[in-house]
A and B are shown apart, each in its own frame.
Chain A
Amino acid sequence: MVKPEKLIENGIRLDGRKPDEIRPIKIKVGVLNRADGSCYFEFGGNKVIAAVYGPREVHPRHMQKSNSAVVRYRYNMASFSVEDRKRPGPDRRSIEVSKVSREALEPVIFQEYFPRSAIDIFVEVLQADAGTRTAGINAASIALADAGIPMKSLVSACAVGKVDDTLVLDLNKDEDNYGQADMPIAMTPDGNITLLQMDGHLTREEFKEGLEMAKNGCLMIAQMQRAALLEKYSSLMEGEVNE
């Protein structure tokens, strides 16, 4: 796609959203039978699936910690997730995303409850459309809860960016490619930020304003994560009571 002349027209973005609007989200909890916890997450054009295994034995042995669990996070893009086939396997980018995503989730997990064990999180990106790391974190946090792993709270993630000199929430692919800045943020519902990255340029004022926008976005996502988890069980609950 060639760069569009304008990414924002009359306060409306290319895909029809307002600057502070996130893309539609669809969540399914417990989609994988073999995993201890799992989640399928759609975030606009992003489609990711997260699986959590554990706590379980650590292999290789030398990775284990004697006083807490190790958390391992593997972010992977399917070769068909982008237009030009992505060469399969870990690369510089996916190793970085895995690291920062792991660090975004570690603060909420009660790792000390499970010494000498491992909690493995796998995130597969099936379709990418800018913001896969945030989608991955959102999915992984639900999958962790679904696996019954003790946590302080869920983690929600969302990006802000600058496009045509305007701050916008949750960039899509074109905005990401042709925009001026991209800043993914992950945080807990009570406002502790566990991930903050930025590329591009923002002024101090823009940064502050962008942070507030992203916080609001995360809160909206937290509501949906919550609803999705409760839905897994309450639908069954009501159905049976009405019977």
Chain B
Amino acid sequence: MEKKLVIPGDFLSDDVKLADEGTYVEDGKVFSSVFGIASLKNQIKVVPLSGKYIPRQGDLVIGIITEVSFSNWIVDIRSPYEGLLHISEFPRRIDNSEMSKYLKVGDSIMTLVKDVDPSMKVELTLNDQRLRQIKDGRVIEVTPSKVPRLIGRSGSMIAMLKNETNCNIFIGQNGRVWLTGKDKNLDLAARTIQKIEKESHIPGLTDRIVKFLKEEKGIPIQEPAKKKAQIEAVEKGEPTQETARDEPVIEETPREEAEEPDKVEENESGGILDELLDK
């Protein structure tokens, strides 16, 4: 197989021209620079199994406002470097004194990395059709290096996930994932995403996820009757977004107060140390 698990310093190839991300060249040979999965097809590339998000120009990310300064919003983009969103990058002309009226500390935004300079000053923008503030749904976090697997080849995984869970899903390059939909569906989507993150290095991922989703939906009997539930919801006049699944809807729901983005933490049991120390 052309994929294998490598550690830093592992020899990969003699062909220097093929060296790509996650590798380094020394004495005309290509070595792995990270602990991850090496793929030797076309380009020699190692995808790390963990690591921080390093911003690059053109990345769509999800950020959280941490500070409002004189003419910038300072945004946490889950990286060692903070993002700067200048007042002029807001879609509308606003006054310095009114900045926190539009975006205040703690607000989440879908934003674009406009520029990164060599000293890693990160400039963000909201001046794009696709960009907006996040007001509903939930934001969960995954390891940034797993984002490509979550999206799948030309978006196959994410399309399948959207279909099967009836949620709208937006994946930021920084590993923050924004989910909108109904609570129960959100739970399922969040669980599935965590499974993808945990098993992304094992071959046959898509098939397993399809199976997982089927099982998850099969066990609770109410689930196959989801369509019915939706109809009921419509009859009750609850706001549903079924019709506009393809694009996130920005209308403000009355439940806005309760919609602080929940961060689902990966809480694997910390028992391994206890187990070790027992012996």
Write the residues of chain A forming the contact surface with B, with a CB cutoff of 8 angstroms.
Answer: 28, 30-33, 36-37, 40, 49, 54-57, 66-67, 108, 110, 113-118, 145-154, 188-190, 226, 229-230, 233-234, 236-237, 240-241
Contact = CB atoms under 8 A, between A and B. Distances in A.
Nearest to B269: A33
Question: Which 9 pairs from chain A and chain B are nearest by CB?
Answer: A153-B9, A148-B51, A148-B50, A117-B80, A151-B8, A145-B35, A150-B33, A148-B48, A55-B80
Q: How large is the interface on B (under 10, 10 to 19, 20 to 34, 35 or more residues)?
A: 35 or more
B81 A117 contact: yes
A236 B49 CA distance: 14
Contacts, number: 113
B7 A145 contact: yes
B261 interface: no
B199 interface: yes
A185 B203 CA distance: 40
B237 interface: no
B120 interface: yes
Contacts of B82: 57
B255 to A, nearest CB: 32
Contacts of B35: 145-146, 148, 229
A151 B81 CA distance: 21
Nearest to A126: B277
A195 to B, nearest CB: 17
B52 interface: yes
Given A117-B81, A151-B33, A230 B50 contact: no
Contact of A28 (B22, B48, B270, B276): B276
A152 B118 CA distance: 22
Contacts of A108: 8
